[in-house]
Amino acid sequence: MACDTDMDYSNSALPRRDKKKSLKIGLMYKFSPWEIPRHDVVFPVRFFGHVEILPDGSRKWVGGEVLKALAYDVPIPGYKTKNAISLRLWEAKATAEDFNLFQFNDGQYESSAQLHARAEQICAVLYPGDATEEGKLLRLKQQFFLCSASLQDMIARFKERKADRVSGKWSEFPSKVAVQLNDTHPTLAIPELMRLLMDEEGLGWDEAWDITYRTVSYTNHTVLPEALEKWSQIVMRKLLPRHMEIIEEIDKRFREMVISKHKEMEGKIDSMKVLDGSNPQKPVVRMANLCVVSSHTVNGVAELHSNILKQELFADYVSIWPNKFQNKTNGITPRRWLKFCNPELSEIITKWIKTDQWTSDLDLLTGLRKFADDEKLHAEWAAAKLACKKRLAKHVLDATGVTIDPTSLFDIQIKRIHEYKRQLLNILGAVYRYKKLKEMSAEEKQKVTPRTVMIGGKAFATYTNAKRIVKLVNDVGAVVNNDPEVNKYLKVVFIPNYNVSVAEVLIPGSELSQHISTAGMEASGTSNMKFSLNGCVIIGTLDGANVEIREEVGEDNFFLFGAKADQVAGLRKDRENGLFKPDPRFEEAKQLIRSGAFGSYNYEPLLDSLEGNSGFGRGDYFLVGYDFPGYIDAQDRVDAAYKDKKKWIKMSILNTAGSGKFSSDRTIAQYAKEIWDIKPSPVA
């Protein structure tokens, strides 16, 4: 969460999972010798309680329950440098004084250690399910715990380094500390920094606000409603009473500023204000609005996404602060996502461009373009890809028991399971492909491009439709993979337990990767960059970073389909008004599922979401039906291109050659220069 210009540490908005608790709840957690406990770095974090007004008129948060945040440091070495920083993690602890020995000896074992149990809950699971009130409260506690511990640490470091002149020098704080809010989850850093500066350090509102505003910046990662958090004012006031007061004051001053300085925007205040009381029974705090109002800079993570923020989501704020909004296209590290996970391809790249400096200067990959038609490079490139595919096939066999053919087209979609990412479109396409194969003669099948479709990812605990999609993929695979008439030409595999280590096997072995979200809904994506870097060709929509990837690798080396972002609203309106006419192929795929061909599970709720019963209140909100025919046509183009091996390998080479822009080195350098205002510190 923090970047400091001359303090060599980093605070992390991540909890350290307690090993004992992890074992109790059945999580696999291996001891890490790199986690160094810092028993000298402990901060109090308060919940509940009330606000007292002191004789001098100042306010202080007292009472409630107080946990301890214990620091753990993980050393993070640089690449080919002498530098290392510490990634600071936090563990929630209760003190020995919080254990009631009398209750324990009286047989009240659970009551005697309630605070210890509540402390363990905070670090047990990142992003706990929030379908219940208890889940919402735990998530809010987790967010605040991490924000408070990190901010207290930053202030302590600042005061330690400036001990001889900290008085009157708080104005230097923003030049030494930068707090980057990674989406809305750490938004509570804003009122917590204000509270610490005012209530603990004695600053007035204006000075504390100036410091906070110049310290905090906000990265928006999505336009999805569920990610633009809205917290109940009632829950917030109960758990964090002082912070609710501060948020109310921020909102009040923002509204007054708009009325006094931007009279023309007065009619927009209701949508721009932080506190939303439009439903008196459920008043909420709009966390994204609080971020925009309180940050000196707001950025999106791809050009298309940043434009949507400026033109749609935050358009009214742009009228007030036109220079506040920027774009910072995401990036990935080539050290992990090519050199480490794909050594075969890495050696070939180094050989042909005659340097290994591409690992820290990814633009050097453009040197491959002049060899894109070289037959020797083609042969080496194909051999490296085949080696990666064989490694992936072994992983699939070990993990699922399914045997896949390394000479088939490896078609992979791995990402969080969500309706907007449209794994449902992918599996419907596989269902349609299966149906067509079943209708073909033996001679016709000989002309088919054999394909292995792999889908992997995790679904949020309470996201029912996402779980149904996972179930459907598995059910389709169980039928297709055991059908002797078809399984030489099509396999469907759900990759279990998807994580970074699994991705390091999947991505190098991929040949086609699906990034098929509804246009305008994916902020950026980074797996698309990893796939392209590894010479994988993308089939996708003009969404997120796909737009920039297509520009960099060349339009001919990207399989494009689907509605554009500026068409989506009109297409949804047409759907509502009954103007949409589904493609017969779309209807065939749905009907085959309804027929029971893939088992007896009731998929009607999932299919209803495509027809008029979406959880978002409108049928087929994510335009699966509209984009289906274009998707099938694009897949036909994929089949044709893959048969031309020379053409396909050239496309693969040019994808790698065009990936230079998507290095995280470039991204972080832009953040440092254009948002954090820090300069590199070279080490001789």
Tokens describing residue 34 = 């790199």
How high does pLDDT run on average in the chain?
A: 91
Q: State whether residue 484 is helix, strand or coil.
A: coil
- CA 223 – CA 169 distance, rounded (Å): 39
- CA 125 – CA 12 distance, rounded (Å): 16
Alpha helices in 84-132 (DSSP H): 101-105, 109-112, 114-124
pLDDT on residue 684: 67
- CA 684 – CA 673 distance, rounded (Å): 22
pLDDT on residue 25: 32
- CA 597 – CA 476 distance, rounded (Å): 9
Interacting residues of 281 by C-beta distance below 8 A, sequence separation 6+: none
pLDDT on residue 101: 53
Q: What is the pLDDT of residues 521-563, one digit of tens each?
A: 999 999 999 999 999 999 999 999 999 999 999 999 999 999 9
CA angle (612 as vertex; 607, 616 as ends), nearest 5: 95
Strand partners, 454: 412, 493
Contact 559, 538 (CB under 8 A): yes
Strand partners, 299: 219, 326
Looking at residue 133, its amino acid is E
Q: Provide the b/e sequence for 417-446 (b: ≥16 CB within 10 Å).
A: bbbbbbbbbbbbbbbbbbbbbeeeeeeebe
pLDDT on residue 386: 98
Report which of 152, 179, 12 is spatially closest to residue 85, judged by C-alpha positions: 12
Strands laid side by side in the 537-540 sheet: 490-495, 451-456, 409-414, 512-515, 537-540, 558-560
Burial class (CB within 10 angstroms; exposed 0-12, middle 13-18, buried 19+) of 511: buried
Count the neighbouring beta carbons within 10 Å of the beta carbon of residue 5.
15
Give catalytic residue positions: 221, 415-416, 421, 526, 530
CA 420, 424, 429, 430 torsion: positive or negative?
A: positive
pLDDT on residue 124: 82
Which residues of the chain carry a pLDDT beneath 70?
1-30, 96-113, 115, 163-168, 612-618, 684
Q: What is the dihedral of CA 503, 430, 561, 444, to 10 degrees?
A: 120
pLDDT on residue 604: 95
Q: What is the pLDDT of residues 559-604, one digit of tens each?
A: 999 999 999 999 999 998 889 999 999 999 999 999 999 999 999 9
Interacting residues of 118 by C-beta distance below 8 A, sequence separation 6+: 65, 67, 94
- Local structure of residue 79 (DSSP, 8 states): S
Looking at residue 169, its amino acid is K
pLDDT on residue 126: 78
Count the neighbouring beta carbons within 10 Å of the beta carbon of residue 311.
11
- CA 189 – CA 180 distance, rounded (Å): 10
Contact 284, 294 (CB under 8 A): no
pLDDT on residue 94: 87
Q: What is the pLDDT of residues 98-133, one digit of tens each?
A: 555 555 555 665 665 576 778 888 888 777 888 888
In total, the chain counts a number of residues equal to 684
Tokens describing residue 109 = 């074992």
Report which of 474, 437, 341, 432 is spatially closest to residue 633, judged by C-alpha positions: 432
- CA 168 – CA 268 distance, rounded (Å): 39
Burial class (CB within 10 angstroms; exposed 0-12, middle 13-18, buried 19+) of 576: middle
Torsions phi, psi for 86 (to 5 deg): -110, 125
CA R_g for the chain: 27
pLDDT on residue 96: 57
Report which of 243, 319, 307 is spatially closest to residue 275, judged by C-alpha positions: 243
pLDDT on residue 120: 85
